[in-house]
Structure 1
Amino acid sequence: MHPVQELLAAVAAGQLPPADGSVQVLGQPPGPSAGVLAFTAHHAVAADVHPDWVHDQLDADDLGSPMKGDFLTALASLLRRRQGALDAALLAAGRGGRPGLDLEPLDGDHPRLARARRYRTDLRAYAVADVPEAMVLVGRGFAGRWETAFEVPDAARGHGLGRALATAALHLIGPGQAVWAQVSPGNAASLRAVLAAGYRPVGAEALFVASG
């Protein structure tokens, strides 16, 4: 198992890295994305870069330096990759069984599904039978972990559908397997939905994907 996968598995098991101010350089895990992962007073650089380069770029007196623009921009330039959003990282345990929503397989030509294929494999995507514009998907993303994403149309907001979709995602994955959700901190509606569905915040992350 790659060191990044070991770290994510430990976090999913409730074993957060020590809050010691350290920055680990672990290399890029299997898959298309590199990243920087942030936990409480602990960071991991999941990219194929030399530790000396990383530490030369950081402000040793600033615990948050690895997630600030100067470092992330320098890393993106070195990797020749595009930096994705800076997201909060949350996770919950899969439950298996039947989801509480009436779900139908999503059309393979759906724009959201086409976009998801660039970043995830083993995709399972569904629309809600009575709100076909609403959708939920799960797939293997960064470092091979299970991830979920969902969409709620404007007309259906404010009725708990986001929470129901985030919960349904847990039933699409086997019991006990970690399911990760990446949410922009400014997307308060989605953040409330995943928190209400039982996902717990464990850190933050910025991923780097190949351009083109």
Structure 2
Amino acid sequence: MPDTLAQILAAAARGTFPAPDGTTTIVEQPSVRDAGVLALTAHSVVFSDEDPQWIRSTLAATPSDALGATMNPHFLCALLARTGRRTNTIDLLTVADALPGGPDLPLREIRDPDHPRVARAMKYRDEVRVWATDGGVVLLGRGVAGRWETAIEVDEAARGRGLGVRLARAARQLVPDPFVWSQQSPGNARSVRTFQAAGFRPVGSEALLIPG
């Protein structure tokens, strides 16, 4: 079993997952910024510098079966209170292989650090780059455990024309790494469908603990 979050993620990107044995692996935070919980098939990973004994005792007291304990609101609220952090949502975590060639739509890079999309991305990622096209933007940056992550935005007036899929696919061609990751809110079915149509495959669910 890999012993760091980066190793666990790298293995998962290649299709190698921890044993589906219902257990929870606890690893150190990969950075001061990044802490959270990753739920895979019948296996969870808590990446936090909190006391492992406290984490396990709190999980044991969570009113849920072992498979769902780490994503149970009881445990997440306790972890947030203990760390003084906050969370936005529990996301679907997806990954895709990089693709050769260039994007099939014209992109212009936004280099203004004060641009709203750039400024927001830099709160959660490093080495952020953002490209725009008529009707939308695509970004790349290093997020949790140094993984390359992407996000896209499509203007309301440009929806329904396949632009989101083209932007998500462009990220696979722009990423300087063998894999690119993305998170989607499960309730945002349109976003989930867009990324899966662009070749992103589900890995698990993830709750990031954001510094307060």
Q: Does 1:137 align with 2:139?
A: yes
Alpha-carbon distance change, 7 to 32 in structure 1, aligned in 2, over 3 angstroms: same
Q: Which moved more, 1:106-115 or 1:148-157?
A: 106-115
What amino acid sits opposite 1:117 in the alignment? Answer: M
Once the two structures are TM-superposed, the CA of residue 50 in structure 1 deviates from its matched residue by 2.0
Q: Taking every aligned residue pair, what percent have the same amino acid on both sides?
A: 46
Partner of 2:78: 74
Once the two structures are TM-superposed, the CA of residue 61 in structure 1 deviates from its matched residue by 3.1
Residues 164, 194 of structure 2: 8 Å contact kept: yes
Instruction: Tell me which stretches of 4 or more aligned residues in structure 1 moved more than 4 Å.
Output: none
Gaps in structure 1 of 5+ consecutive residues = none
Partner of 2:162: 160
Gaps in structure 2 of 5+ consecutive residues = none
Partner of 2:57: 56
Partner of 1:14: 15
Alignment of 1:30-179 (within 5 A): 30=31, 32-58=33-59, 59=62, 61-108=65-112, 109-128=114-133, 131=134, 133-174=135-176, 177-179=178-180
Provide the rounded CA distance (Å) in 2 between the counterparts of 1:160 and 1:4: 34
Once the two structures are TM-superposed, the CA of residue 113 in structure 1 deviates from its matched residue by 0.9
Alignment of 1:191-210 (within 5 A): 191-210=192-211
SS of residue in 2 equivalent to 1:66: helix
Cα shift readout 1:92-150 (whole Å, capped 9, x = no counterpart): 0112431111000125222111011011111110001xx1x410000000110000000
Residues 86, 209 of structure 2: 8 Å contact kept: yes
Once the two structures are TM-superposed, the CA of residue 51 in structure 1 deviates from its matched residue by 2.0
Q: Which moved more, 1:193-202 or 1:1-10?
A: 1-10
SS of residue in 2 equivalent to 1:84: coil
What amino acid sits opposite 2:10 in the alignment? Answer: A
Instruction: Provide the TM-score with structure 2 as the length reference.
Output: 0.93
Provide the rounded CA distance (Å) in 1 between the counterparts of 2:51 and 2:182: 29
SS of residue in 2 equivalent to 1:181: strand
Q: Which moved more, 1:53-62 or 1:32-41?
A: 53-62
Provide the alpha-carbon RMSD of the alignment: 1.6
Instruction: Provide the TM-score with structure 1 as the length reference.
Output: 0.93
